[in-house]
Amino acid sequence: MSPLFPSLYAAEPREAIRFGRHALTYAELAAAAGSLAQRIADAGRVAVWATPTPQTVVGVVAALVAGVPVVPLNPKTGERELTHIVRDSEPAVVLAAADDQLPPALHGLPRIDVAADAPTTGTAAPALPPEPDDESAALIVYTSGTTGPPKGAVLPGRAIAATLDALRDAWEWSADDVLVHGLPLFHVHGLILGVLGPLRRGGSVRHLGRFSVEGVTRELSTGATLLFGVPTMYHRIAEAASADRELAKALAGARLLVSGSAALPAPDHRRIARATGRAVIERYGMTETLMLCAERADGGARPGTVGAPLPGVELRLADESDGIGEIQVRGPNLFTGYLNRPDATAAAFTEDGWFRTGDMASLDADGQVRIVGRKATDLIKSGGYKIGAGEIENALLDHPGVREAAVTGEPDEDLGERIVAWVVPTDPQSPPEESELTDHVARELAPHKRPRAVHFLAELPRNEMGKIMKRALHV
């Protein structure tokens, strides 16, 4: 079996990662990850405090080469959600940068401070361990469902290699490419595509620390060739591009502009094309399946479609009616199951072994996939993050001022969908402050899961069976 990261094993002297002024070559990354890999080799599982820093990359790469499954943690996760993830994944140790303050939910865990410095000249770098079996768990990524707390999708090395190699073919992605992005490093998009992708190709990634239009302009004007982002980022780019000539020029010079994690609306496609002469291409995937479809570097972009299935991906539309059906898939890019959740894993697959994505689509005459919606109305995509209405409702119901709660996703130009809470207060005479409830959700779950608006009602609309009729809840 070939290694996941050939350039790392070759300890090449070329730049691999850059966060601001902090850059590491493959040789330096191999040295830093190699010595950490030795220290964690016997850990059953590790967690990484996934800040946008080189330490996160060193921690993840060390675990991957050591064959130790790694759980990337969102550093903004609130207490309730973090406690759940730690109980569920039982990491033996948490990897963090020396100056990271870890919250109480992690205080019971041993901690290793990750060094991401180039080793002193003359020090022999520890050899990387032999590559682990590619069927064993490599990453465990937590992802939301419609109800209950997030589930850990177990991703083997095989799935990571398969998806990255399929994207190489679609995008002619090579060692010459320099990727820029400002995506978080605890999800598939930013971590697997955005960091492990360049490392597998032997190319490099420049991370912005946090997304900004200025950062994109700067990096694409100084050698970066690829841009990855969620639609919210492209929306902000589209807003700026008509008046910002430097940005338009930088985008025009890129080799590829790629959007994913949610649909990029046609007006944003159009505005970027008008300002730059360049089309944004889309790709479609899920945490559980990694990438399924992509528009090709040589194929042009067609707003509204996400391209054809990638090499190795089998895709069918189930229970079609009027040409629209649920996307079901098979392939080497799929996860092996949800951690500790055989029930949920079984429910995610059909009897004949196809994974149910829950996404509804049609196929164009030439095989391009057109996503038209989602089966579950209780899943919200906001800023490219998947959020379950149920987890927010549960958090709200834990607040003493809330008697009943329902959560919906409302269309939003910037975020795609915005989380809206509908609340029946315990005491109608003195309902809690709106900010009290949004802060409560941000603190317990995560800031990106906080409602952007709260509406107080005397009662929730229910049908004769007593079920809440969310369709009747509109602003």
Site residues, ligand AMP (CB under 6 A): 143, 188, 260-263, 282-287, 306, 357, 359, 371, 374, 381, 386
Is 72 a residue that touches ligand MCA (CB under 6 A)? no
Burial class (CB in 10 A: 0-12, 13-18, 19+), 177: buried
CA distance 107 to 173: 41
From ligand AMP, ligand MCA, none, interface partner of 357 (C-beta below 5 to 8 A by class)? ligand AMP
Shortest separation between residue 227's beta carbon and ligand MCA, angstroms: 14
Asked whether position 384 contacts ligand MCA by CB under 6 A, the answer is: yes
282's contact among ligand MCA, ligand AMP, none, with CB below 5 to 8 A by partner kind, is ligand AMP
- Among ligand MCA, ligand AMP, none, partner that 333 touches (CB below 5 to 8 angstroms by kind): none
Least Cβ distance, residue 271 to ligand MCA (angstroms): 17
Degrees to nearest 5, angle at CA 37 with 130 and 193:
85
Q: Determine the Cα–Cα distance for residues 194 and 204; give it in Å rounded to an integer.
A: 10
The binder of 356, among ligand MCA, ligand AMP, none, by C-beta within 5 to 8 A per type, is none
Instruction: List the one residue from 40, 139, 233, 294 that touches ligand MCA (CB under 6 A).
Output: 233
Long-range contacts of 86-92 (CB under 8 A, 24+ apart): 86/47, 88/152, 88/339, 88/340, 89/45, 89/47, 89/140, 89/152, 89/339, 90/44, 90/45, 91/43, 91/45, 91/46, 91/47, 92/43, 92/44, 92/45, 92/46
Q: Show the tokens assigned to 252.
A: 């025009």
Cα 298 to the chain's mean position, in Å? 26
Q: Is 49 in the site for ligand MCA (CB under 6 A)?
A: no
CB of 307 to ligand AMP, least distance (A): 9
263 binds, among ligand AMP, ligand MCA, none (CB under 5 to 8 A by kind): ligand AMP
**Residue (371 or 460) nearer to ligand AMP, CB:** 371
Is 59 an interacting residue with respect to ligand MCA (CB under 6 A)?
A: no
Q: Does 316 bind ligand MCA (CB under 6 A)?
A: no
Answer yes or no whether residue 450 interacts with ligand MCA by CB under 6 A. Answer: yes
Q: Which of residues 8-47 bind ligand MCA (CB under 6 A)?
A: none
- The two structure tokens encoding residue 123: 């020090």
In the complex, which residue's CB is closest to ligand MCA? 383
* Site membership for ligand MCA, residue 152 (CB under 6 A): no
* Interface positions, 420-449, toward ligand MCA (CB under 6 A): 438-439, 442, 447-448
| β-bridge mates for residue 376, sequence order | none
**Could you say whether residue 188 binds ligand MCA (CB under 6 A)?**
yes
Cβ(178)–Cβ(188) below 8 Å: no
CA-based nearest residue to 423, from 413, 408, 410: 408
How far is it, in rounded angstroms, from Cα 85 to Cα 202?
32
**Contacts with 2 (C-beta within 8 Å, 6 or more apart), sequence order:** none
Q: Which is nearer to ligand AMP, 18 or 189 (CB)?
A: 189
Q: Of 286, 320, 246, 59, which Cα lies nearest the Cα of 159?
A: 286
Specify which residues 380 forms β-bridges with: 387
354 token code pair = 């196809």
Q: Judged by CB under 6 A, does residue 211 bind ligand MCA?
A: yes
C-alpha 194/C-alpha 214 separation (Å) is 19
Task: Please identify which residue in 34, 149, 157, 190 interacts with ligand MCA, judged by CB under 6 A.
Answer: 190
CA atoms within 13 A on the CB side of 254: 32
Cα angle for residues 421, 425, 427 (degrees, 5° grid) = 165
Nearer to ligand MCA, 35 or 336 (CB): 336
Residue 232 found at the interface with ligand MCA (CB under 6 A): yes
Backbone angles phi, psi at 172, to 5 degrees: 50, 40
Query: Looking at beta carbons only, is 34 or 145 nearer to ligand AMP?
Result: 145
Residue 440 site contact among ligand AMP, ligand MCA, none (CB < 5 to 8 Å, cut-off depends on kind): none
| DSSP H or E segment with residue 210 | none
Contact between 184 and ligand MCA (CB under 6 A)? Answer: yes
Question: If contact means CB under 5 to 8 A according to the sort of partner, which of ligand AMP, ligand MCA, none does residue 200 touch?
Answer: none
Residue closer to ligand AMP, measured from CB, 127 or 372: 372
Which of residues 65 and 230 has its CB atom nearest to ligand MCA in the complex? 230
Which residue number, 177 or 282, has a Cβ lying nearer to ligand AMP?
Answer: 282
Q: Is 286 in the site for ligand MCA (CB under 6 A)?
A: yes
Q: How buried is 404 (Cβ within 10 angstroms: 0-12 exposed, 13-18 middle, 19+ buried)?
A: middle
Of ligand MCA, ligand AMP, none, which one sits near residue 306, judging by CB under 5 to 8 A according to partner kind? ligand AMP
> Cβ 255 to ligand MCA, closest distance in Å?
20
For ligand MCA, the binding residues (CB under 6 A) are 76, 183-184, 187-190, 211, 230, 232-233, 260-261, 285-287, 383-385, 438-439, 442, 447-448, 450
